[in-house]
Structure 1
Amino acid sequence: MLAILGYLMVVVFMFLIMTKRLTALIALMLIPALFAIVGGFTNELGEMALTGIKELAPTGVMLMFAILYFGIMIDAGLFDPVVGKILQVVKGDPLKITVGTAVLVLIISLDGDGTTTYMITISAMLPLYKRVGMNPLILASIAVLGNAVMNITPWAGAMARVVSALHVEMSDVFVPLIPAMAGGILWVIFTAYVFGLRERKRLGVIDLENLDSELIAYAEQAATVEQTGYKRPKLLWVNFGLTVLLMTGLIMGIMPLQVLFMLGFAIAIMINYPNIDLQKERISAHAGNVLAVASLVFAAGIFTGILSGTKMVAAMANSLVSIIPDALGPYFPVITAIVSLPFTFFMSNDAYYFGILPILAEAASTYGVDSLDIARASLMGPAVHLLSPLVASTYLLVGMSKVDFGEFQRFAFPWAIGTSVIMILVSIAVGAISL
């Protein structure tokens, strides 16, 4: 009975958020509470929900301050020289332009926000693509692939959901996946290289010696925040050094991620905006992003707390295990990695990571598979996921690139599959996903 109730809860949850009848935030709180009451767990409802919230509190804190940190770095202009330099170097060579686009996307995607990545990349590069006559589908595809690879950083949405859903340590999931991310980065650059060779063969190298300086200036300006008064070019190397130290500390695990980002943000905002009123203004400017992410994490605590507390997830996992041949049990991580591609395409991140992933992890545990293996395996599908019509930021990408959504999907899909395959193979090779 618990298994049926659990499956029904997941189906209702997925249906409501995929049909946009409820937002993920509201559904994560109301749907599990409703089903807990139906299942006769009214008296334990509050305790189970609070337990889930407490378990996810550290993740929520980390994400809040990670968003604020990278928001300050963007405001201060840390990434602006990269944009300008790429535009100067690539000139009229389609090959240099595509590879330059890939480098730009990978750097900008460090903030973990697809919307920011697309806005900066497309604004900076589209004028150049138009001037040279290159296919804008290439620009959109490189942008989505690069952003997908960087979507497994600790402060990105997919990683946050995995950690929230399975209650595992962020560093334990992320650090073993660094080689897979490196493989994905190389694949994105290779893809950009192939695209560039094709365009160079089709168009040749365009002489842009007489390219209007206004074009470059426009692209550079469009790629940055409009309020130039917030820029801190004299602090560029200070901000770069601080970011490198932060990333080093994250990888080495010298202290909890939450503390690292809290201290990093405090130092960054004091260095760049010592005026208290300006600090308040910059924090307020990023408050919307912070609230959206943090509220989702805490709402997920209610969902996962109830799912676990009622034992629904255990019952669902047992029912799932019963239909999987025993011979395939040890390969559950690889199976999870493969099925993450279609799952994350046909359903939202919230539906998959909060609804399906806990079931897979519980089922895998019966075969002695660690939940960390399942956590890492579930992160192999972002490239395919970002081509889904369920992803809001993809509509922004398509709109800014001025391409048809269907054409974009057909054009990028084989390369997205390639990205996931490369990351899965590298993960298996280094032992991040057990085989």
Structure 2
Amino acid sequence: MDVLAVIGLVTFLAIIILLVKSPFSPVAVFVLVPVMGALTAGFTLGEISDFAKLGFTSVQTSVIVTAFAILYFSIMSDVGMFEVITKPIIKKAGKSKSPVTAIILAAALVATIGHLDGAGATTIMITLPLMIPFFDKLKMDRRALGLSMGLCVGAMNLVPWTGPTRHTAIVLGMDPVALWKIILPAQIVMLAVGYTMTYMLGRREIKRGAVNSVSGLPSVQSESGYLCVQKKAYFIFNIALTLALLTTLVMGIMNSGFTFLVFTSIALLVNYRSKKLQGKKIKEFSPGILNMVLNVIAVGVLIGIMQEGGFVEALANAVVSVLPASVGPYTYLIIAFLATPLLMVLGTGPYYQGLMPVIVGICAQYGTDPVVAAAVLLVPSGISVSLSPLVPANHISCGMLGYEMGDGIRYGWKWVLAAAWIAIPVVCLTVHLFY
């Protein structure tokens, strides 16, 4: 095996092990491990710096999209846009002839809307406090709430400012919104699959003995402190602004980074009238944004060094040389079918930053379009994130729902695995039709 391939393999394995087992920050791992690998391979610090610079260039759009998308949807959540949308949905569900199925579908819809910002913790904080009283009153299994939320959030994980799509775009060196347009049809189908499975969960809860009656359901009170609740004009404006933002992204009227800059600036000025309040809110939302941005920049260093230094190409060539010719072109499909257990064992960082670049590189050696391979690896993995014990938000969810992570995995793994496997032929078909 080529020396670069050996060093590349050791580097990727070290990154995966350190991300999974060590207490080190992902930022430190993504930067220092590839630097040490490149030094071992004989590159000078000047050369490594040039590799990293190219890596920075490849992630600059992702950095802007990540920062301003999170800020935009944090503003929308803070002023109560999601509150106004979701509470009437829950009220209507509570009056349904079959409240069990209606409530669990309402929970899935609330989670879908809540995950527009791409942040799992935000989705949990929006969805669970609203829905848990209804599940308890109807004697529904809280694990069904966690699973239905996870299935729909899994499909929403494919929007361009979430980790899975953002990291995949970095691997490909493309705009995350451009990648999203390619997988959007598959995302729509997987949302439909998520709602179908949620309905099936509701029917199963009725058979299990849930109380399918509207009698005594808790009322839904609106928080009067929300700006969009107090003043209808603000709600109408923010909904119109959000629809305009999504339309601009889908139609490609402006590049995605500039689009979020413009729309976030408008949202900030309209919803927070004073300079002092605007500054206060930016500081309030900054910790989550900073963490995401630092990770993206660090991943840019990793990708720049490993790709520009020739490690990924050498490793891909080495794997190709030992793979049977009949298997090589389908490596990405094999990994896609293993996405659920791989996400559970590796977590998101090692899967997207460690495994995906290697698999995409291998498939490229056999003539498979890297975008096709990456898309097929992305969609089922996005669906599977909700089962990974290495994703902190999943532990927050389990804690609020009152069960252990292991209970959630045992309850939901068959459903998530089925959804992930359905996603593979769906994304294969839609990518070939629309890419």
Q: TM-score, normalised by structure 1?
A: 0.93
**Mapping 1:265-304, distance limit 5 Å:** 265-304=264-303
Cα separation, 1, equivalents of 2:61 and 2:431: 27
Alignment equivalent of 1:179, drawn from 185, 189, 193: 185
> Hey, what does 1:205 align to over in structure 2?
212
Structure 1 residues 20-169: aligned runs within 5 Å? 20-43=22-45, 44-91=47-94, 93-169=99-175
Find the residue that maps to 1:154 and give its secondary structure.
Answer: coil
Closer, same or farther in 2 for the Cα pair 1:284/1:340, shift >3 Å? same
Unaligned runs of 5+ in 2: none
Task: Note if contact 2:61-2:175 (Cα within 8 Å) is conserved in structure 1.
Answer: no
Amino acid at match of 1:206: S
In structure 2, what residue type is equivalent to 1:322?
Answer: S
Q: In the TM superposition, what is the alpha-carbon distance from 1:197 to its structure 2 partner?
A: 1.4
Equivalents in 2 of 1:126, 1:309: separation in Å? 50
- 1: distance between equivalents of 2:90 and 2:308? 54
Look up the SS of the partner of 1:286 in the other structure.
helix
C-alpha deviations, 1:289-347, integer Å up to 9, x for none?
Answer: 11011111111111111111221111100111123222234434433422333322211
The structure-2 alpha-carbon separation of the partners of 1:95 and 1:248, relative to structure 1 and needing over 3 Å to count, comes to: same
Work out the number of aligned pairs and report it: 426
Q: Matched residue of 1:25: which SS?
A: helix
Identity %: 27
Say if 1:370 and 1:400 are closer, same or farther in 2 by CA, change over 3 A: same
Q: Which moved more, 1:334-343 or 1:112-121?
A: 334-343
Tell me the distance in 2 between the aligned counterparts of 1:116 and 1:82.
16
Give 1:421 deviation, angstroms: 2.1
Cα distance in structure 1, aligned partners of 2:341 and 2:333:
14
1:426 aligns with 2:418: no
Q: C-alpha offsets along residues 171-208 of structure 1, whole Å, 9 cap, x if unaligned?
A: 33211211111111111111111111122332342242
Cα drift, residue 272 of structure 1: 1.1
Closer/same/farther in 2, CA of residues 233 and 398 from structure 1, 3 Å limit: farther
The CA deviation at 1:7 is 0.6
Greater Cα offset, 67-76 or 327-336? 327-336
Counterpart of 2:370 in structure 1 is 371
Residue 415 of structure 1 corresponds to 415
State whether residues 49 and 302 of structure 1, in contact with CA within 8 Å, keep that contact through their aligned partners in structure 2: yes
Alignment check: 8 A CA contact 1:76 1:233 kept: no
Contact kept, 8 Å, 1:101 with 1:142, in 2: the verdict is: yes
Give how far 1:233 is off.
3.9
Q: What CA RMSD, in Å, does the superposition of the two structures yield over aligned residues?
A: 2.0
Contact 2:161 2:176 in 1 (8 A): no
Pick from 4, 7, 22: which aligns with 1:5?
7
Query: C-alpha distance in 2, partners of 1:57/1:231?
Result: 37
Q: Take 2:130 and 2:389, find their aligned partners in 1: how far apart are those partners?
A: 25
Structure 2 counterparts to residues 166-245 of structure 1, below 5 A: 166-201=172-207, 202-208=209-215, 210-211=216-217, 213=219, 216-217=220-221, 221=223, 228=226, 233-234=231-232, 235-245=234-244
Between the aligned partners of 1:134 and 1:107, the Cα distance in structure 2 is: 22
1:113/1:156 contact within 8 Å kept: yes
Contact 2:84–2:228 (CA<8 Å) still a contact in 1?
no
Task: Supply the AA of the counterpart residue of 1:189.
Answer: Y
User: Cα deviations across residues 46-68 of structure 1 (Å, max 9, x unaligned)?
Assistant: 11112211221121011111111
Q: TM-score, normalised by structure 2?
A: 0.93
Question: What is the letter of the counterpart of residue 184 of structure 1?
Answer: M
Question: CA separation in 1, counterparts of 2:218 and 2:346?
Answer: 45
Moved more, 69-78 or 162-171: 162-171
Task: Output the CA distance in 1 between the equivalents of 2:200 and 2:227.
Answer: 40
- How far apart, CA to CA, are the structure 1 residues paired with 2:432 and 2:254? 22
What are the residue-to-residue correspondences of 1:357-396 with 2, within 5 Å? 357-379=356-378, 380-396=380-396
Return closer, same or farther for 1:239/1:33 CA change in 2, 3 Å cut-off. same
Residues 232 and 353 of structure 1, relative CA distance in 2, 3 Å threshold:
farther
Q: d(CA) in 2 for partners of 1:361 and 1:152?
A: 18
Residues 1:229 and 1:16: Cα distance change in structure 2 (over 3 Å): same
Secondary structure of 2:81 counterpart? coil
Stretches of structure 1 lacking an aligned partner (at least 5 in a row): none
- With over 3 angstroms needed to count, the CA separation of the structure-2 counterparts of 1:331 and 1:148, relative to structure 1, is same
Mapped partners of 1:329, 1:344: distance in 2: 22
Stretch moving more, 148-157 or 267-276: 267-276
Q: How far apart in 1 are the matches of 2:341 and 2:247?
A: 34
**Contact 1:153/1:159, CA 8 A, preserved across alignment:** yes
Measure how far apart 1:229 and its partner are: 6.3
2:111 and 2:63 map into 1 onto residues whose CA distance is: 26
Work out whether residues 376 and 428 of structure 2, in 8 Å CA contact, stay in contact via their aligned partners in 1.
no
Per the alignment, residue 19 of structure 1 pairs with: 21
8 Å CA contact 2:134–2:218 kept in 1: the answer is no
Match of 1:328 in 2: 327
Cα gap change, 1:207/1:361 in structure 2, threshold over 3 Å: closer, same or farther?
A: closer
CA distance in 1, matches of 2:296, 2:351: 15
Specify the alignment match of 2:399 in structure 1. Answer: 399
Q: Is the 8 A contact 2:84 2:229 kept in 1?
A: no
